[in-house]
Amino acid sequence: MEKCSDGWWRGSSEGRVGWFPSNYVLEEGEEEAVWGDLGGGYPGQGAGSGGVINGTTRAIHTVQTLYPFSSVTDEELNFEKGEVMEVLEKPENDPEWWRCRNARGQVGLVPKNYVVILSDDPAPGGVMGSGPHSPQINYTGPARVGKFAGKDWYYGGVTRHQAECALNERGGQGDFLVRDSESSPSDFSVSLKAMGKNKHFKVALAEGVYCIGQRRFSSMDELVEHYKKAPIFTSEHGDKLYLVKPLL
């Protein structure tokens, strides 16, 4: 059998030789795709998804989506913000896209800048459950992707609830993190550990300027450094809160 890089293979059947699309066949020993319930088509093609496989592929990372995404081709995967997926492959010929599997078992290409890595240790057995619930994320840490990736205070697409849990579990007063806004993808929030009740401050980004209340800053770094020296919040009793250090 001859294989061409354009996705067509040359083979013989009952004495006849010719070319055929490789995605219409399954090689012996290859895991069979489950696609009969996707409304027709061929393996790997379904209604807005990359197909459903039997769930035995070893995952590379566990990731969470930062924004919703609607597929343009049959190879891409639809998803909403906040979904947890497993990365199965990072195609060398298309480095901006990762092949992922969602909690429903659907597999498809996902733009890597739409997700944040939650863990390098996938669920036990290397696959996610097929149920509707996402796996429990035990650790929330600085994001490796996103606008401020590499900053020890930037936690990317974590939710307010996840930020609260992380601050309560291992934070001291004044520990803080910066995260993407849940209500406005272009804006951000500062979450701060405080006595009694944690505080969350919205940071709006408009024309390259970071605005918090009436204050304006040229960068997020400038904002963070400012509120390490000046109070970000003053209570009616005169108690002042500062950004002391990033949550570890």
The whole-number pLDDT of residue 46 equals 35
228: domain CATH number is 3.30.505.10
87: domain CATH number is 2.30.30.40
175-180: strand order across its sheet: 215-217, 209-212, 199-206, 188-192, 175-180, 245-246
Distance CA 120, CA 44 (A): 26
SS3 at position 100: strand
The whole-number pLDDT of residue 48 equals 33
109 is a domain residue = yes
Distance CA 45, CA 40 (A): 8
The whole-number pLDDT of residue 45 equals 34
Q: How far is CA 100 from CA 184, 200, 206, in A?
A: 25, 32, 33
The whole-number pLDDT of residue 176 equals 98
146 is a domain residue = no
The whole-number pLDDT of residue 18 equals 75
150 is a domain residue = no
237 is a domain residue = yes
23 and 51 housed in the same domain:
no
Q: Which domain holds residue 81?
A: 33-126
Structure tokens at 203: 């940071």
Question: Along the chain (248 residues), what's the average pLDDT of each consecutive run of 10 residues?
Answer: 60 73 54 34 34 60 88 88 90 86 91 83 47 48 91 93 88 95 89 91 95 94 97 91 96
Sign of CA dihedral 213, 219, 222, 228: positive
The whole-number pLDDT of residue 196 equals 81
24 and 46 housed in the same domain:
no
Distance CA 79, CA 184 (A): 17
Q: What is the distance, to the nearest Å, from the Cα of residue 12 to the centroid of all Cα atoms in its chain?
A: 44
pTM surpassing 0.85?
A: no
The whole-number pLDDT of residue 40 equals 35
